[in-house]
Structure 1
Amino acid sequence: MRLRLREFRPRTGPYEHRIVQPWQPLRHTFLSPPEPIGLLLGDHDGLNRLAGLFSFAAYSRHTIVHVPLREGVPPDEGWGRPVDLVLAHHALGLRPARWPELRRKLRHGTATALTARTDEARTERDAARWRERRERADFREELRHATHADTFFLFGSRDVFAQSATSFAHAAGWGPRHKNVVEGRSALMAELPALVQSPGGGHPQDVLICFKPYPPYAHFRRPGR
């Protein structure tokens, strides 16, 4: 997949950060955090580009991927408050409490255009290896997460981000084939894999991935029709 991105290089003290955003906003994509069940609702374009962004994040260990979603078109179904999305590798050491400072620098900073290409075959291979390892008793490759400053953060490794990318690709490809989406209804397609759960039990935390065509729904046709 070819991704058009904005690249920023803000500094905090002696450190330079590399942050990328989609060049065009994902206007018909909505995200609410897991409290305890979150929702990611998107059309084909939004889910497809999220698949590419997760794949890009998987192989960009020193890059923060920021996906602004709060200013999108509000959906006519769903729940929760809208939040943005940030993806970063565990090893990068990004702390959610530092994000508001970095975000302010993006608003006043200068972006450069960046074109990136993702390798879907490599992404699928790494996702398959993650699924194989998940069956082991010592499995620890999960997605850590936090919600802070109207932003949902996901911290992971290459392979769990690759698995997430394949989940979004599946939702983008097969969501339009669901029967009721022609009426504007959403279709549950997948979930974010292996979210770390809060200690002490309680209801499991999860983020559901759903396909939903954007209105007006009269324009939408299922593939093959």
Structure 2
Amino acid sequence: MKLPVTIHRARLGPVEFKVIRPARPLLDAVLVDHDSHLDAYLDQQAAKLFGGLWTLAASSPRSLIHLPMRGNPAPAHEPPEAGTRQLDLVLLHHSLQFAPSRWKDVRARLGPGRRQTVTLPAPVLTEDSLIHQESRHYRENRDLFHQHVHAETLFMTGSAKVFRDTARHFIDVARNGPGYVPVHPRYPRFVTELHSHAGVLGNAREIRVEYCDAWIR
């Protein structure tokens, strides 16, 4: 999988941060904070891009992966609700130990960046990854996501393994969402979840990922 990205660098004092963004605007994609959980609404292209960037986060432990999308049009079947807000998303490896409180300053220092194309392996659900899923339920497991919200941005912090193993959710939406919706008129929603029972969430809320092909313009 070839993924066009833009590489940005921002310096705060003696520390330089590397920020990776998709090279093209992330259009038909919305991340909604419902307080008790989060909803991601994605069209096919956005779901592919999410899967690619999720995979990139697994192999880029020294980078912040930024998906800017707050302010995008809402899905036609899910108009904005009172008490909800749209968020940007940042994916980062736990070893980076980045404080979300610094994000606003880092974001303000990002320049135009440098275009680059990275080549990624396609996420695959293998027998080994199924074994990893079972092992997640043991108390000593440390491959968990943790979340923080700051400056209208959701920070998803995790290990390389948990990013790699969960990228398949977005690939599943991209592959199966477009074909599912037309043949299920009574419930035209293709949904997958990063669920609390899946053993991938530590201090983190559930995320529903839903295919959507109609947006409020």
**TM-score, normalization: structure 2?**
0.86
How many residues matched? Answer: 207
Question: Is 2:50 aligned against 1:44?
Answer: no
Structure 2 counterpart of 1:178:
180
Structure 2 counterpart of 1:116:
118
1:148 to 127, 132, 150: 150
Structure 2 counterpart of 1:92:
96
1:164 to 156, 163, 166: 166
CA contact (8 A) 1:171 1:211 kept: yes
User: Measured at CA, do residues 181 and 207 of structure 1 come closer, stay the same or move farther in structure 2, by a change above 3 Å?
Assistant: farther
The percent of aligned pairs where both chains have the same amino acid is 28
Gaps of 5+ in 2: none
2:135 to 111, 133, 136: 133
CA contact (8 A) 1:55 1:118 kept: yes
CA contact (8 A) 1:181 1:213 kept: no
Structure 2 counterpart of 1:15:
15
Q: Separation in 1 of the partners of 2:125 and 2:59?
A: 13
Q: Separation in 1 of the partners of 2:145 and 2:77?
A: 26
Structure 1 segments, 4+ long, off by >6 Å, are none
Give the aligned residue type for 1:168: F
Query: How far does residue 7 in structure 1 lie from its aligned partner after superposition?
Result: 0.5
Q: Separation in 1 of the partners of 2:118 and 2:148?
A: 27
Give the aligned residue type for 2:45: D
SS in 1 for 2:85: coil
Q: What CA deviation, in whole Å up to 9, does each residue of 1:84-113 have, x standing for no partner?
A: 00000000011110000001011xx23111
Q: What CA deviation, in whole Å up to 9, does each residue of 1:112-169 have, x standing for no partner?
A: 1111011126x64574453142143422311000111110110000111012211111
2:201 to 195, 212, 215: 195
Q: Separation in 1 of the partners of 2:211 and 2:22?
A: 20
- Cα root mean square deviation, aligned: 2.4
CA contact (8 A) 2:76 2:214 kept: no
Question: Is 2:64 aligned against 1:60?
Answer: no
Give the aligned residue type for 1:171: V
Structure 2 counterpart of 1:31:
31
Give the aligned residue type for 1:86: V
Q: Separation in 2 of the partners of 1:215 and 1:149?
A: 25
User: Measured at CA, do residues 182 and 128 of structure 1 come closer, stay the same or move farther in structure 2, by a change above 3 Å?
Assistant: closer
